[in-house]
Amino acid sequence: MRNKDAIEYVGTWEILYNPNFNYGEFTIIKNEAGSRAYRISVKDWVGRTNAIGIMAKSGRYGGTYAYNLGKQYYNAKDYLEALKYYRKSAEQGNTIAKEQLKKLLNEDE
């Protein structure tokens, strides 16, 4: 991540939904962002700020990729495929995918 707007966006989400978010470290990162040379990996972002809303997983169908696929299938009302990808992402620790998975499973009852 290197776009200051993107960093502010994910930081704002974390402030709203993550009680353990490291706001002080976020402020430092936000102030450094925006320069041409600045870049922070998702792994470093999570490590420095204790973020929960974004994650990185290498390999095919990693946590972020699987969650995004699940979201696309859910929006297209293909709930079986959405369930498949939310489950993959949830198994890799994505808390948002876990919540979406619970929601989807409760809708089927």
Give residue 75's pLDDT.
86
Q: How many domains does the chain have?
A: 2
76 and 40 part of one domain: no
In tens, the pLDDT along 1-42 reads 778 888 998 999 899 989 999 999 999 999 988 777 888 888
End-to-end CA distance of the chain: 39
In a domain, 9, yes or no: yes
Which DSSP state fits 18? -
Give residue 60's pLDDT.
56
The larger pLDDT score, comparing residue 92 to residue 31, is at: 31
In a domain, 56, yes or no: no
In a domain, 57, yes or no: no
Rounded to whole angstroms, how far apart are CA atoms 71 and 67?
6
Structural domain span for residue 30: 4-49
Give residue 109's pLDDT.
44
Burial 68-85 (b: 16+ CB within 10 A, else e): ebbbebbeeeebeebbbb
39 and 73 part of one domain: no
In a domain, 58, yes or no: no
For residue 65, pLDDT over 50 is answered with yes
45 and 67 part of one domain: no
pTM: 0.53
**Average pLDDT for 79-87:** 87
